[in-house]
Amino acid sequence: MRLLRIVPDDTRFKIVRFRRFSYPFSAAYSLLVIFLFVTVGLNFGIDFRGGTLIEMQAKSGKPEIASVRQAANGLGFGEAEVQEFGQGGEISMRFALQPGGEAAQQQVVVKAREAFSPNFDFRRVETVGPRVSGELVQAGTLGVVLAIVGVLIYLWFRFEMQLAIGAILGTLHDIVLTMGFFLITQLEFNLTSIAAILTIVGYSLNETVVVFDRTRELLRRYKTMPIADLLDLSVNSTLSRTAITSTTTVLALIALVLFGGTAIEGFALVMLFGVVVCTYSAMFISTPVLLYLDVRAGRGDVEEKLPAGAKAKA
Amino acid sequence: MLRFQTRKVIVVLLVLLFGCGFALPNLFSPETRKAIEAGAPSWIPRILLPIHAVVLGLDLQGGSHVLLEIDRADLVRGQVTQLRDDVRRILREERIGFQGGIGMTARGVSVRVPEAADRAKLLPKLRELSQPVGTLGAFGPSGNNTIDIAEQPDGLIQLSVTEAGANERVRRAVEQAMEVLRRRVDALGTTEPNIQRQGLDRILVQVPGLQDPQRLKDILGQTAKLQFRMVADSQGGDVDMLPSQDAGGSLVPVERRVIVEGEDLVDAQPAFDSRTSQPIVNFRFNIRGAQRFGQATTENLGRPLAIVLDNKVISSPVIQSPITGGSGQISGNFTVESVNNLAILLRAGALPAKMTIVEERTVGPGLGADSIQAGKMATLIATVLVIIYMIGTYGVFGFIASIALLVHVCLIFGLMSVLGATMTLPGIAGIVLTIGTAVDSNVLIYERMREESHQGRSLISALEAGFQRAFATIIDSNVTMLIAALALFALGSGPVRGFAVVFILGILTTVITAVTLTRMLIALWYRWARPKALPF
């Protein structure tokens, strides 16, 4: 039986040269992200924006979405976002944060229950007041920063500072690109999205560390090899592992997208995008960064110093 | 590579046995688990029994999560009022002359005492009002005092409630409030409510499997401060104008003096009035309450009495005859439901301060069941896909990786069951994700083996080198993942924390299964098949 291999053995791809395409691409994409962030903005869910979310299901038959929208807007809590989703007459309604502090939010649920209880089952009700949403924003931002600082310290201890910086740059790049995914698709950004972002941080580092581990090993073994060649070799020798792991992760996530239900779908889609981005950035973003950071500096066992990227025909 | 200390093998087998054994009870129904627990002899430690299952989060079993916040400003106002009354009392007792009354600010009171001799007499008395906050440390009380006293050169004395004093008051009030809320939720008769403090001034109430979340919120959010006061003849003086419930919100003048308060109630029950068949609440006072109520009703025959709940007049019946037996009834424009709620509130007692609901998350039981179904399906499909792919890529070694993967999923469930961790919807997503990433360690090892054997090593030494060289990489990549997961755990709450737990456990178990277990299985295969080359 012939076993399947995605990547042939002993590939010799010129990885770092590819930065001529990958860097401008990522730079342009990042600019687009910043532009969208300022103009369109993230579609914050109620976790961060405050407000009320109600998901309900018609007790029988297909609900008239137009009449539900009319009824929801008629409750006197401003324009409600009413959408149909899933199968079998599920409707989600979102009401913006009501003026009048924490207590005012509760009225939305009371009124909505009165209006829709006869014909609908309430499957999910979430109300977040202004104070809580503010704290959630802080906690989310803090978590991402905390994770990056923690990892930076660990990598600094395990590797040289240059490799740590390369890995973190790659991770930041992945966060920016993932944000871009949220901006372009206008997928709701909520607490679970923060969980997705942090998972992507973990995965991104995982991918980069595998390549850099090899880089470190090769640095010790080939003391005179030009940096560019050495980086190419690092990526090429870990390429088949990268391909296989990405594939298994993508397979699992596809199962999640297709069968995990509507509540997980968003998370799974973001992760799917993230895995692809992380794989790309570990090879074409983080690794070429090392050309510009003198990775051979400060190594006691170096026989001859080469200026960084001296022989890299880039 | 092929040598394993017997001890090590036994340890690994034990871990597997226990890990997977602890995961087993998740397949039983709750009833079966209870039966096992009841039927087991008492000499077996409870931890060894197959009765611990993963706790389902509210998002999976349905239920309500309500976060309440105590009104800090309200509490501080109460403190300042108390302070003013104390200062007034001291001034009177010590017969001290002061100018221009007692001034009140948001955080304290001030009084101007012109005579230095008076001030010297007054200050020590005022200092007695201030108590140290905090626990007793090795050097006396730690922290600072509840009240700050400042003296201005022109004879003005300012007393203010300190930040620490206010915090202390909030802390005590939250403790009281938790007791009250627990009694209220228990009266609803739901199973296993969870009430815990969050931060300084918040209380989280989680009630699984609730039929009527609206009723829960009605019962949680009300302060339920009940007072019996006389309706005043006219406005002015010591009279509050309070909205009345039965007269459509019009204002009623009510005397400030309180005859009896809700804390003197010993019982309250919903009932029907025998004459009008209206829903009412019957109540009984304790001895102190009964005496006061008896005296007031005797003195005020023919006058209306105001029954005030949270500064609203629910009804103002005219006193027909002295009520000295210590029991009475409250009637008003009640529905059966509101009478039931009122009885619960009165029995449980009033909250020490106003509380607002700042967050609510309710999931219906139907949605929870659907989520579990979908989660099971996704987990199954993901596992099958990954196993097919791994066997397709690595043949026999792929099969070994698949065994490790299955054990890994079992271990996550087993650990979560033993720890009593909560499985949430994002947690399920975490499991599926970890199925995708868990094989990474195996892939790292196998790819390294390929490389080493390509470089001309003998099979056995390639196997050995594969494990040795990949190990550092596995540790590095997993520790970085772990750091991200810990950050997630530290900041997350509820569902997100559930995801973090799965993520962390997944990372820990993958090192055990992917490295140690895989190694043993490969050693077994080597002895059994006597291969000449790598099977992939």
- Token pair belonging to B216: 């829960």
B2-7 mean pLDDT: 74
The predicted-structure confidence for A99-117, as pLDDT tens digits, reads as follows 887 778 888 998 998 899 8
Q: Output Rg (C-alpha) for chain A, integer angstroms.
A: 25
Helix (H/G/I), strand (E/B), else coil: B320 = coil
List Cα–Cα distances, A212 to A163, A216, A284, A286, in angstroms.
7, 6, 13, 9
Interchain pair A3, B385: CB under 8 A: no
Distance (Å, whole) CA B87 – CA A52: 47
List B residues 220-249 in contact with A (Cβ-Cβ < 8 A).
221
Determine which of A148-157, B136-145, B459-468 has the lowest per-residue pLDDT on average.
Answer: B136-145
**Among all residues of chain B, which has the CA nearest to that of A157?**
B476
Give the residue with greater pLDDT, B62 vs B36: B62
Query: CA neighbours within 13 Å on the CB side: how many for B305?
Result: 26
The predicted-structure confidence for B67-119, as pLDDT tens digits, reads as follows 999 999 989 998 998 899 888 888 888 888 888 888 888 888 988 888 888 88
Residue type, B80: V
Residues in chain B: 536
Give the residue with greater pLDDT, B265 vs B140: B265
E-only strand ranges, chain A: 51-58, 81-85, 90-95, 120-128
One DSSP character per residue, B251-310 reads EEEEEEEEEEEGGGEEEEEEEE-TTT--EEEEEEE-HHHHHHHHHHHHHTTTSBEEEEET
Structural contact between residues B164 and B143, judged by C-beta atoms closer than 8 angstroms: yes
Give the 3-state DSSP-derived string for A103-132, with helices as H, strands as E and coil as C: HHHHHHHHHHHHHHCCCEEEEEEEEECHHH
- Token pair belonging to B158: 């300012």
Distance (Å, whole) CA B474 – CA B446: 12
Interchain pair A146, B491: CB under 8 A: yes
Report helix angle B163-187 to B336-348, nearest 10: 130
Does residue A171 carry a pLDDT above 90? yes
Structural contact between residues B322 and B298, judged by C-beta atoms closer than 8 angstroms: yes
Query: CA neighbours within 13 Å on the CB side: how many for B375?
Result: 21
The predicted-structure confidence for B394-439, as pLDDT tens digits, reads as follows 999 999 999 999 999 999 999 999 888 889 888 999 999 889 888 9
**Residue in this structure with the two tokens 């403790």, named with its chain if needed:** B175
Distance (Å, whole) CA B55 – CA B419: 10
Predicted pLDDT at A152? 87
A239-251 mean pLDDT: 94
**Residue in this structure with the two tokens 């309706």, named with its chain if needed:** B231
Check CB contact of B377 with chain A, cutoff 8 Å. Answer: yes
The predicted-structure confidence for A258-275, as pLDDT tens digits, reads as follows 999 888 899 999 999 999
Predicted pLDDT at B393? 93
> Which residues, other chains included, contact B91 with Cβ-Cβ below 8 Å and sequence gap of 6+?
B98, B111, B122
pLDDT band (50, 70, 90) for residue A63: confident
Does residue B153 carry a pLDDT above 90? no
B149-157 mean pLDDT: 85
Does residue B519 carry a pLDDT above 80? yes
The predicted-structure confidence for B192-207, as pLDDT tens digits, reads as follows 889 999 988 999 999 9
Name B206's bridge partners: B65, B194
Predicted pLDDT at B202? 94
List Cα–Cα distances, A117 to A71, A114, B320, in angstroms.
12, 6, 44
Does residue A301 carry a pLDDT above 50? no
Does residue B151 carry a pLDDT above 60? yes
B317-327 mean pLDDT: 87
Structural contact between residues A207 and B437, judged by C-beta atoms closer than 8 angstroms: no
Out of A217, A255, A271, whose CB is closest to B378? A255
Interchain pair B472, A213: CB under 8 A: yes
Give the residue with greater pLDDT, B33 vs A27: A27
Structural contact between residues B176 and B184, judged by C-beta atoms closer than 8 angstroms: no
Tell whether pTM > 0.75: yes
- Token pair belonging to A159: 């590797």
pLDDT band (50, 70, 90) for residue B55: confident
**Among all residues of chain A, which has the CA nearest to that of B213?**
A125
A41-61 mean pLDDT: 90
Residues in A closer than 8 angstroms to B485, CB to CB, are 198, 202
**Among all residues of chain B, which has the CA nearest to that of A250?**
B436
Nearest C-alpha neighbor of A264 from the set B144, B486, B426: B426
Check CB contact of B365 with chain A, cutoff 8 Å. Answer: no
Distance (Å, whole) CA A179 – CA A185: 10
A196-220 mean pLDDT: 91
Does residue B48 carry a pLDDT above 80? no
Name B196's bridge partners: B204
**Residue in this structure with the two tokens 């103002």, named with its chain if needed:** B316
The count of CB pairs under 8 A between chains A and B is: 241
Does residue B141 carry a pLDDT above 50? no
Determine which of A41-45, A122-126, B267-271, B333-337 has the lowest per-residue pLDDT on average.
Answer: B333-337
- The β-bridge relationship of strands B55-56 and B422-423 is parallel
Nearest C-alpha neighbor of B56 from the set B422, B496, B493: B422
Distance (Å, whole) CA A211 – CA A15: 12
Check CB contact of B359 with chain A, cutoff 8 Å. Answer: yes
Residue type, A123: R
Report chain A's mean pLDDT, rounded to a whole number. Answer: 87
Other beta carbons less than 10 A from residue B232's beta carbon = 21
Out of A101, A110, A199, whose CB is closest to B433? A199
Out of B366, B382, B392, whose CB is closest to A123? B366
Residues in A closer than 8 angstroms to B503, CB to CB, are 199, 202
Residues in A closer than 8 angstroms to B478, CB to CB, are 206
Nearest C-alpha neighbor of B157 from the set B50, B210, B59, B84: B84
Give the residue with greater pLDDT, B74 vs B139: B74
* Residue B262 burial class via C-beta count within 10 angstroms: exposed 0-12, middle 13-18, buried 19 and up: buried
List Cα–Cα distances, B366 to A55, B64, B335, B361, B371, in angstroms.
12, 14, 30, 15, 9
**Among all residues of chain B, which has the CA nearest to that of A271?**
B433
**What sign has the CA pseudo-torsion B20, B367, B369, B204?**
positive
Interchain pair B491, A102: CB under 8 A: no
**What sign has the CA pseudo-torsion B96, B99, B104, B107?**
negative
Check CB contact of B392 with chain A, cutoff 8 Å. Answer: yes
Predicted pLDDT at A306? 44
Residue type, A128: V
- Compute the nearest-CA separation of A52 from chain B (Å): 9
Predicted pLDDT at A31? 95
Does residue B497 carry a pLDDT above 80? yes
> Which residues, other chains included, contact A7 with Cβ-Cβ below 8 Å and sequence gap of 6+?
A239, A240, A243
Distance (Å, whole) CA B159 – CA B162: 9
Interchain pair A263, B479: CB under 8 A: no
Predicted pLDDT at A2? 60
- Compute the nearest-CA separation of A240 from chain B (Å): 7
> Which residues, other chains included, contact B434 with Cβ-Cβ below 8 Å and sequence gap of 6+?
B408, B409, B412, B502, B503, B506, B507, B510
